[in-house]
Structure 1
Amino acid sequence: MKERMTSSSSKASFLFWAILVLHLLLKASSNPEGDALNALKNNLQDPNNVLQSWDSTLVNPCTWFHVTCNVDSSVTRVDLGNAALSGTLVSNLGDLPNLQYLELYNNNITGKIPEELGNLVNLESLDLYLNNMSGTIPNTLGKLQKLRFLRLNNNTLTGRIPLSLTNVSSLQVLDLSNNNLEGDVPVTGSFSLFTPVSYKNNPRLTQPRIVPVPTPPLSPASSGSSNTGAIAGGVAAGAALLFAAPAIALTYWRKRKPRAHFFDVPAEEDPEVHLGQLKRFSLRELLVATDNFSNKHILGRGGFGKVYKGRLVDGSLVAVKRLKEERTQGGELQFQTEVEMISMAVHRNLLRLRGFCMTSTERLLVYPFMANGSVASCLRERNDSVPPLEWPRRKNIALGSARGLAYLHDHCDPKIIHRDVKAANILLDEDFEAVVGDFGLAKLMDYKDTHVTTAVRGTIGHIAPEYLSTGKSSEKTDVFGYGVMLLELITGQRAFDLARLANDDDVMLLDWVKGLLKDKKLETLVDAELTGNYDDDEVEKLIQVALLCTQGSPMERPKMSEVVRMLEGDGLAEKWEQWQKEKTYRQDFNNNHMHHPNANWMIVDSTSHIQPDELSGPR
């Protein structure tokens, strides 16, 4: 009996320790970030299977599509914009301590914004716009001291704007427009935080007012100093009135003269005038910064003018674009309107407009200085001290520039069409992050041609055939230019290069690439500067995207949002297969045997079916 009890006790003890070890193993193998994203997936309806790769059996979510991690395998980005997702967000999102970008715009998400998002202390961008979210804006968002972009517009949010948001000094863009918010628009010392654009179309919101700072009641012991306090209060009130009077007068003046210019004070007299986060510089400031536009400070030249490197009085480096066309009489208001439009397009992959200057003889745009120049300069103007762009960086540039263009096309109101997408206009910051520059300048430069067809702008080799033949541009002309830019990234070649004639090659990069693919010369196509350090499959996929983007018919080209998804690994194979089946020029390919190991994706020359107006650029 005693032996039986001992045996039973041993079994129970073994079972207890086995369960404990199993529990500890499961606990050790769990990942709070993976659990948080799985909870989000389970709470969303995903009709397009965008979240198909989010496998709950994998502890680490860093291999999932639309998720980006840092070197420590911690989630830093969740990119799920334009994904047709519905459902609600989960409080578990607050368990992503290193998250910097949460992109869930343009979906059908409902419900409340979780208060737990206030735990994301490293968050820089929160984009929940163009959904159906309801409830109030959480006060906890005021704890996000690194937040730069907060876009909650085009939802059905209610309640007051949290006063706590005025404490987020890092905010560069705030958009709460097109909701059902109510009450006063809070204002503190950061008056520019809430511009009229940021809260428009909220009928129950009242105009901004200064929020008084409550003063503590005086205790009986301090009544003797009440006169002193009253005097100090009077002085403070007088000072506040003194500083507020010009703003009140300016507001009244603008209401009385609605057709007047945005900036009715000469820049030379008041260089600190701001439009939101946009500064109007004085000409004197920029002359000093660029050493009177010295030729030694020229960074580049283009169709819009010259760009100069400058250093402002605060020590910061800037790039000053000096627009070359003369202004016409009465064009100042339109120019300022277009500048405002450009300044509202803020995205990590778009070059941020820092300010501008306008005088009777000059129009200047001021941008942050990009430390690593342009993609074109990195590809073709290297020196021995600067290594060539590595293949992983080229892939990141392709994705980053696509995201920037998709934002211009789908999320700007009005839509912005670049019209000159090329490697020279894709800039690189200190981390080699792609930044699309010169967007909106085509519109800006053509502001005086409101009653005539806009002249074709662009660069030979990048111009879409329909734009060249009709002069009409659309977002699909940008897609074409982007496709050629991808080929520049892959090959290191110029889009138009007469030097190729020496080898009896096509001067147009697109035609040259198609010729190499027809002749099965993939190795010749890839930039020799990479010295073989690239992935064949990744090169093939990038070429496929480029060819889809450069189709003769604009209707057959993908949207930039589709390009982003294809580069992220979602839908390229299906799109490519569909396109291949629809093209009659595959008949020659199917009748011949190609011996290249990767021949199954190559194409033949498409010139046999191209119509006269379907050229790949000017001849």
Structure 2
Amino acid sequence: MKLLAFVLVLLGCLQCSAAAEFQVEALYEMRQLLIDNSGVLHDWKDNQMSPCYWDHVTCQDNKVTKISLSSSGLTGVLSPSIAKLTTLQQLLLNGNSITGGIPQEFGNLSSLTTLNLGRNNLNGSIPDSLGRLPKLEILDLSQNNLSGSIPSSFLNLPSLNNINLAYNNLSGEIPQYLLRVAQYNYTGNHLNCGQHLFSCEGGSTRTGGSKMSKLKVVLGSIAGAVTLLVIGVLIVLWWQRMRYRPEIFIDVSGQNDHRLEFGQIKRFSWRELQIATNNFSEQNVLGKGGFGKVYKGVLPGPDSIKIAVKRLFNVESPEGDLPFLREVELISIAVHKNILRLIGFCTTPTERLLVYPFMENLSVASRLRDIKLNEPALDWSTRMRIALGAARGLEYLHEHCNPKIIHRDVKAANVLLDGNCEAVVGDFGLAKMVDIGRNTVTTGVRGTIGHIAPEYIKTGRPSVKTDVFGYGVTLLEIVTGERAIAFYPDRIEEAGEIMLVDQVKILMEERRLHEIVDHNLGGAYNREELEKITQIALLCTHMDPDQRPAMSEVVQMLEGEFVPVERWEEWQLAELNRRQQHETRQQRKLFSFSEESLNIQEAIELSTGR
């Protein structure tokens, strides 16, 4: 039964991803027909994994529910593709300069409650298909150039309570049922009300609602005033009761918050995590990154389960929700023993928190570089097991997930270790999903200096091969215990920083490979494995991304006894050619500089008459 439940959850995740991709296509087609002079749609790109991170788009359960582009300076025409968003509840495009007609396809927006296209330059007739919107409550088509009559299909709008068709070129009779809604406005047209309710002077109707509606408004106002008075009294009583209590826990998301279960992902209350982390004490901080701090915690209860709580920064900024949404979405897809498992999350108006299992041995980086008293260094066999576990995790992301996932920040600090020092790839705050038929997406360059592949820096296009580069650097970190960029005063003529990859290349060429091994090992390592692991690392950091191995090939090489001879010979030849080209460029620069200096010297001599 557990296996069946897991399969159902996984299938649901894949369906969510497919639905997200479908929504991206629909919204991108919408953007293609709109002219965005103000750049408000700058992040609406067809290569994104989900539209839920875009500006002016609101989602619920990864489904688009609201498009809010009021007064955004848009021109162009409306796309029928909008109608593909069957979960859309609110479409707000009022206050722009959109032209053309209203697509008949809008009648397929079965979840729509609000359609506001007022104050544009729309023309043509009102589509009778809008009468197929059973949940439509608010319809505003005012201040356009619409003509024709009001569709008789509007009789089928049982939820409609606010309609505004003012200042168009509509003609004919206003149906009686549209004069019974709570709020209406038909002024500025050539409409008449018929002979059953009101007389229409000048061919236009008055604004307002029925007597019953006005009575409801009065009664509602009285009820509202009474409610406010009662709430005020309750607040005073609550304050008097609480003012003398020395300690108060406030759960912003609700003390009796209903638990939302998504597979094995649980929703925690703010109070639970506040207690678990001792009010987010600085003494419980495990680490700090670009997106937030990670705290150690213990869940209250008989089991005293240890957890790690990531508290994200800047959640109220325009992009503050991106890391949170990205991790929840991606980790719900990626399920593997070498991928960090998400236990749960917590959201409040001002907080976004992610809850993971506590990794007893923290990260590879911390175990390599923050060795404490009486804490043994990672031995050689453990390091080799970590290298293989991390490789298997990345292989799963690249080749077995659908869609594929690019981590974008592979480094020793993001490879975590459980109580048995088994490697778990974590921190998906920068990760991206990739379409099956396309291996790259265009995005801003993100990651950690020293682990970023050179082609990613140049083009801004990450791929699975940029992850392979980061993994190669991570292998060298595991072997050497050094950082990706380290200080080597005795290795270069001018003391300063040098890339770990370049340093290893120098020592490999000089046959001094033993010098790169972490001194904390005390010489206890396997020399054949050292050569193999170094060769794999250099293959992974090949300057040509097409020549880097796939992670499945890396796993095979790690599990085998040696690196295929032909692959290593190809790397050596490519490295030799790269160095020769570099030396040629340097010589040309030197010659150019010398020639320029000579010309300057001659000019000085001529000017002085020498």
After TM superposition, the score normalised by the length of structure 2 is: 0.52
Alignment: residue pair count: 349
Deviation at 1:440, TM superposition (A): 5.1
Partners in 1 of 2:309 and 2:264 — Cα distance?
17
Within 2, Cα distance between the matches of 1:464 and 1:297?
34
CA shift for structure 1 position 416? 1.3
Q: Secondary structure at the match of 1:286?
A: helix
Structure 2 residue 285 is the aligned partner of structure 1 residue 456:
no
CA shift, 1:502, in A, is 8.9
Question: 1:558 and 1:500 mapped to 2: Cα distance?
Answer: 33
Q: How does 1:208-607 map to 2 (within 5 A)?
A: 258-259=87-88, 269-314=256-301, 315-327=304-316, 336=325, 339-439=328-428, 441-443=430-432, 454-498=443-487, 500=489, 504=495, 506-569=497-560, 572-580=563-571, 582-583=573-574, 585=576
The answer (yes or no) to whether the contact 1:416–1:439 under 8 Å persists in 2 is no
Residue 482 of structure 1 and its aligned partner are, at CA, apart by: 0.3
- State how far apart, in whole Å, the 2-side matches of 1:370 and 1:172 are: 28
Structure ID, larger Rg: 2
Does the aligned pair in 2 maintain the 1:281–1:355 contact within 8 Å? yes
Deviation at 1:608, TM superposition (A): 4.5
> CA separation of 1:278/1:606 partners in 2, compared to 1, >3 Å: closer, same or farther?
farther
CA contact (8 A) 1:322 1:363 kept: yes
Q: 1:268 to 1:513 in 2, by over 3 A?
A: farther
Q: Secondary structure at the match of 2:514?
A: helix
Displacement of 1:545: 0.3
Query: Do the aligned partners of residues 480 and 524 (structure 1) sit closer, same or farther apart at CA in structure 2, a change above 3 Å counting?
Result: same
Relative distance call for 1:502 and 1:560 in structure 2 (3 A) is closer
Q: Is the 8 A contact 2:405 2:431 kept in 1?
A: no
Instruction: Give the SS at the match of 2:297.
Output: strand
Measured in 1, the distance between the counterparts of 2:320 and 2:547 equals: 38
Shift of 1:284: 1.7
CA distance in 2, matches of 1:316, 1:172: 26
Change in CA separation of 1:329 and 1:550 when aligned onto 2, cut-off 3 Å? closer
Residue 357 of structure 1 and its aligned partner are, at CA, apart by 1.4
Match of 1:16 in 2: none
Shift in Å, 1:441: 3.9
TM-score under structure 1 normalisation?
0.51
Change (3 A) 1:478 1:392: same
Taking every aligned residue pair, what percent have the same amino acid on both sides? 52
Counterparts of 2:273 and 2:477 in 1: how far apart (Å)?
34
Q: Deviations over 1:449-487 (max 9, x none)?
A: xxx963322111111101112222111111000000000
How far did residue 409 of structure 1 move?
Answer: 0.9
CA contact (8 A) 2:469 2:540 kept: yes
Measured on the aligned residues, the alpha-carbon RMSD in Å equals: 3.6
Name the SS for the 2:408 alignment partner.
Answer: coil
Check whether the contact 1:267–1:357 (CA below 8 A) recurs between aligned residues: no
Alignment deviations for residues 503-539 of structure 1 (CA, whole Å, 9 cap, x no partner) = 7365211111112222222221111111111111000
SS in 1 for 2:498: coil
Separation in structure 1 between the aligned mates of residue 403 and residue 297 of structure 2, nearest angstrom: 31
Q: Secondary structure at the match of 1:416?
A: strand
C-alpha distance in 1, partners of 2:272/2:422? 29
Pair 1:553–1:173, CA change in 2 (3 A)? farther
Give the counterpart letter for 1:258 in structure 2.
T
Which amino acid letter does the alignment assign opposite residue 511 of structure 1? Answer: D
Q: How does 1:144-223 map to 2 (within 5 A)?
A: 166=1, 168=2, 171=3, 174-175=6-7, 196-197=12-13
Instruction: Name the CA shift for 1:607/1:486 in 2 (closer, same or farther; >3 Å).
Output: farther
Query: Residues 585 and 609 of structure 1 are in contact (CA less than 8 Å); yes or no, is this contact kept in structure 2?
Result: no
- 1:578 deviation in Å? 4.8
Equivalent residue letter for 1:352: R
